[in-house]
Amino acid sequence: MLRATSLLALGLMMWLFKGLAAGASPQAAATLALGFLLLAAYLGGLLVRRLSLPKITGYLLVGVLAGPAGLHFVTSHDIDQLRLVGEIAVALIALAAGGEIRLPELKRYRSLLLKFGGAAIAFPMAIVIFGAILTSPWFPLTAGRPLTDVVAISLLLGVIAAAGSPAVALAVISETGARGPLARAVLTVVVAKDVTVIVAFAVALSLGRALVSDAGLDLEFVLAVGRRIAFSIMAGWALGWLASQYLKYVEREMVLFTLGTAFLAVELAHMLQLEAMLLTLTAGFFVENIAPVRGERFVRAIEQSSLPVYAVFFALGGAGVHIEALREMWLWAALLIGLRAVGVLAAARWGAKEEPVVARYGWCGLISQAGVALGLALMTRSVFPAWGAALETLAVAMIAVHELIGPVLLRWGLSRAGEVEAEREPQPEERLLAKSGVSV
């Protein structure tokens, strides 16, 4: 009750301040919005946790309620002004995700991860593509269009459907303290498949342009994306090496250092036109697995700053949810959501059948979508002016639903798998260590 009252009081204060700050500079308005989102998201996370929901669901709901689709405490201009803050948050999350991927585990479970990861991309993509083609006579985007346009639209929707959200996976796994085959498989597969999806989208975009314009396949565009990914990995390797030198010789003010590393990565990505998420993923992976230092302190420092990072990132994501797109295309978005869900479920059942708990609940970790999927959807508008805007609206509606329900499903799946820390039975070796007074 106290938290709900505090959230209500904070909302009333924000309403008052918005009135008093009318006519203020965009930077001042964005700063006010950032402070409100940080405090309100924190309270919202505590509230939903009482319902056994992940805190990031509270962050997202606060963003939706406070954003342009709700009370307008946070405007679209504020979201634009805070884009750098969101990018730094993504970089920090990617650094942590890279640090959570460990080579010994990759080698040990490579068969499972390869099959599950491949199926997690191929199955949803194929089912959405064929579903869109089969319903094309009635589908608003494709009805009355030539077959070439139908195939191009279906390809792009299929690739967007294959994208996931490493940020959601890491946030829920970190919050719950989940440990086990499901948490490990979900995090590794979601990270790897988003990198693959970026390349697949470049190929689909090039094929789509060739089909629609009767031009040849633009291999240069695909190669340019490949170069961008390669240079991002190289830059991440270099950044990881620099971070390892700091850890080796200085190792002070670690939280401040991780924030500075994330900011440097974002600026490098802007200057060199690289993929910031891939760059920081690689840097985190390098520090954890390759650098001649212990990477635990680096990852721990990121985790120490995770509360404000996740609160701001997901609250901004919630504020950016396009409810109007969902109202406009809800029926066809529901069709795509259903087709994608079938693909994701089939991917887990087939791709992870050698690990029963992953086969049963792995689909829960593949539902969420956020930044990568949204970025791919936004690209279609400029490339295909005839129908790109309509495709973007439909894809954004689908992503909005996945963004809201995905964290809840992942939390449920981890709980059912018995991997949530508060619910997990300690393993025999953990009991032995606990009796010896060793923390596990």
Query: What confidence category does residue 349 fall into, taking pLDDT thresholds of 50, 70 and 90?
Result: very high
Burial of 7 (0-12, 13-18, 19+ CB in 10 A): buried
- Closest Cα to residue 251, out of 305, 309, 303, 295? 295
Average predicted confidence (pLDDT) for the chain: 83
- Examine the domain organization and report whether 234 and 381 are in the same domain: yes
Tell me: pLDDT of 197 over 50: yes
- pLDDT, mean of residues 326-334: 80
Q: Does residue 427 lie in a domain region?
A: no
- Examine the domain organization and report whether 125 and 13 are in the same domain: no
Q: Does residue 437 lie in a domain region?
A: no
Predicted pLDDT of residue 130: 92
Q: Six-digit token pair at 16? A: 């008052």
* Most confident region among 209-213, 265-269, 275-279, 433-437 by mean pLDDT: 265-269
Domain boundary among 81, 111, 144: 81
Q: How far apart are CA 112 and CA 95, in angstroms?
A: 24
- Examine the domain organization and report whether 385 and 401 are in the same domain: yes
More confident call, 103 vs 22: 103
- Closest Cα to residue 78, out of 18, 41, 29? 29
Predicted pLDDT of residue 142: 80
Q: Which residues contact 254 (CB under 8 A, 6 or more apart)?
A: 297, 298, 300, 301, 304
Q: Does residue 149 lie in a domain region?
A: yes
- pLDDT, mean of residues 260-279: 88
Q: Six-digit token pair at 222? A: 């695909």
Tell me: pLDDT of 54 over 80: yes
Query: What confidence category does residue 294 fall into, taking pLDDT thresholds of 50, 70 and 90?
Result: low
Q: How far, CA to CA in Å, does 99 sit from each of 45, 261, 302, 358?
A: 25, 14, 10, 22
What are the pLDDT digits (tens) for 71-90? Answer: 888 888 888 888 888 888 88
- Which of 32-36, 162-166, 198-202, 322-326 has the lowest average pLDDT? 322-326
**What range does the domain containing 293 cover?**
86-422
Tell me: pLDDT of 338 over 90: yes
Q: Does residue 358 lie in a domain region?
A: yes
What are the pLDDT digits (tens) for 106-164? Answer: 888 888 888 998 999 999 999 999 998 998 888 888 888 888 888 888 998 999 899 88
Predicted pLDDT of residue 425: 57
Q: How far apart are CA 166 and CA 99, in angstroms?
A: 13
Domain boundary among 20, 52, 81: 81
Q: Does residue 432 lie in a domain region?
A: no
- Examine the domain organization and report whether 73 and 100 are in the same domain: no
- Examine the domain organization and report whether 246 and 393 are in the same domain: yes
Tell me: pLDDT of 295 over 70: no
More confident call, 391 vs 421: 391
Q: CA angle, corner 117, sides to 320 and 353, nearest 5?
A: 125
Are 98 and 288 a contacting pair, CB within 8 Å? yes
- pLDDT, mean of residues 389-395: 83
- Examine the domain organization and report whether 351 and 274 are in the same domain: yes
Q: How many domains does the chain have?
A: 2
Amino acid at 292: P
Q: How far apart are CA 126 and CA 428, in angstroms?
A: 43
Domain boundary among 64, 81, 98: 81
- Examine the domain organization and report whether 271 and 126 are in the same domain: yes
DSSP state of 73: S
Predicted pLDDT of residue 216: 57
Q: Does residue 107 lie in a domain region?
A: yes
Q: Does residue 207 lie in a domain region?
A: yes
Q: Six-digit token pair at 412? A: 């449920």
- Examine the domain organization and report whether 120 and 55 are in the same domain: no
Q: Does residue 429 lie in a domain region?
A: no
- Examine the domain organization and report whether 182 and 227 are in the same domain: yes
Q: Six-digit token pair at 91? A: 């970089």
- pLDDT, mean of residues 49-77: 86
- Examine the domain organization and report whether 54 and 188 are in the same domain: no
Tell me: pLDDT of 431 over 60: no
Tell me: pLDDT of 93 over 80: yes
- Examine the domain organization and report whether 189 and 65 are in the same domain: no
- pLDDT, mean of residues 249-274: 86
Predicted pLDDT of residue 293: 63
* CATH code for the domain of 94: 1.20.1530.20
- Examine the domain organization and report whether 70 and 189 are in the same domain: no
What are the pLDDT digits (tens) for 304-326? Answer: 777 888 888 888 888 877 777 77
Query: Using CA of residue 168, residue 170, residue 174, residue 176, what is the dihedral sign?
Result: positive
- pLDDT, mean of residues 236-254: 85
